[in-house]
Amino acid sequence: KALVAQWMGNLRLDTPDPVVNEMFAFSKIRAMESIYATKSGPMHGPGGESYYAAVWCNDQAEYINPFFPFVGYEYGNASALHSYKLFASFMNNDYRPIPSSIIAEGYDIWNGAGDRGDAAMCAYGASRYVLAKGDREEAQELWPFIEWCLEYCHRKLNPQGVVSSDTDELENRFPSGDANLCTSSLYYDALLSASSLARELGHSAAASRYTKQAATLRKSIDAFFAAQVEGFDTYRYYDGNDVLRSWICIPLCMGIYERAEGTIQALFSPRLWTENGLLSQAGTTIFWDRSTLYALRGVFMAGETEKAHRYLQSYSHTRLLGNHVPYAVEAWPEGGQRHLSAESALYARIFTEGVFGIRPTGLRSFTFSPRLPKQWNHMSLHDIKAFAHSFTIDVARKDESHLSVCVTTGGREVLKKTIKEGATVKCTLAQ
């Protein structure tokens, strides 16, 4: 009870919608509770009566670790650091791929799908985690691993400038070609976060290099993946893909909006959207919640607030109050909709990164782009524990096109201003 009370007291979502408030609160429980004391150290596991004492580059490194600092759960932060150190132990001078999963309490590996883009997952997650954690010592400790992962991805660029990999995180359940949209998008965002981190750590040359590489990669992603798919101006998931896939949402989550309009139309078309969220591939009955949760985050980020809000409400009602409750699920029919842990963190990240638009830019700084739905006159995130502070973001509607935003910490206002709807605010907390 005391532990749950701690989670409930930190990172509290307050909106006029009791369903999303409650599902956000439940998501913290499922995300935080799934950590195990193992022989090598604390390991967060997906659970679901199947996955324990093991970590994955997607579930842990990419999905949940960047979220732990926002809740301020120190055992969660410790498990995140431990997982990155486990993966970092596989760095090598020949740039052979790191394993997809470290199992058996940290003393064996599973690598049954080859290179899934795991280095991109780790670079993306680790750079965001250390920025949000705000601990310079941890940042310096993980910096060599982040650099290694970025260099690995750079060496895997194909002649068209996007990242090659054997498969993706769905491990050949669906085709992903020789280079998939997910891996390159993760690498793009990792370059941007690593550039911010490099500046914090005094590596100005690396910061400049990563910024330039990100700009080049963004153009390559558009040139290689942009396509008309089933009549929508969106992305093919890989070269030769001609059927809509749910992961076309991922560029939106990385701030890539060139194909936002057509992509959002495709995501919410009857070809992909169902009462359980997105189908993994149009024409099937298979769904994996993770892509739905990324999509809802990305559509908010892209500024389609009303549409995102409508589908968020639908999804939240189904998962919290429907017939298989009260958490986000892994997949169906595989696993019978197990409530794996990291998916709940992805639900919470719809709000931290989508609705409130928080993006770490330094160990004590971030930007945020609030997306307040028309049905709401206010929203708040109380006692956010990131950037080595405890702070609150309040957003209120001032008029039809303006919002009042306020950031407070320790009982004092750090920032208070009126912004145009859709604007991005920069905020720096005290060192």
Of residues 102, 103, 104, 142, the one with CA closest to residue 124: 142
Separate counts of helices (H) and strands (E) for the chain: 13, 19
Q: Are 97 and 119 spatial neighbours (Cβ–Cβ below 8 Å)? A: yes
> What's the whole-model pTM score?
0.98
- Per-residue tokens: 134: 């705000």
Neighbouring residues of 172: CB distance < 8 A, sequence distance ≥ 6: 113
pLDDT tens track for 346-370: 999 999 999 999 999 999 999 999 9
Q: Are 397 and 372 spatial neighbours (Cβ–Cβ below 8 Å)? A: yes
Q: Give the CB-side neighbour count of residue 293, counting CA atoms within 13 A.
A: 26
Give the pLDDT of residue 226. 98
d(CA 54, CA 428): 36
Q: Which residue has the tokens 């696993």?
A: 335
Secondary structure of residue 120 in the 3-state scheme: helix
For the stretch 2-8, contacts whose Cβ atoms lie closer than 8 Å and that sit 24 or more positions apart, written own/partner, are 4/29, 6/73, 7/32, 7/71, 7/73
The DSSP H or E segment spanning 232 is strand 232-235
d(CA 49, CA 274): 27
Give the pLDDT of residue 366. 98
Which residues of the chain are modeled with pLDDT < 70? none
Q: Which residue has the tokens 């750090």?
A: 414
247: region left, alpha or beta (phi > 0 left; psi from -120 to 50 alpha): alpha
Give the pLDDT of residue 358. 98
**DSSP letters of 77-101?**
HHHHHHHHHHHHTT--TT-PPPPSE
Cα 252 from chain centre: 11
Sign for the CA dihedral angle at 83, 337, 290, 183 comes to: positive
Give the pLDDT of residue 431. 78
- Per-residue tokens: 161: 């400038």
Give the pLDDT of residue 289. 98
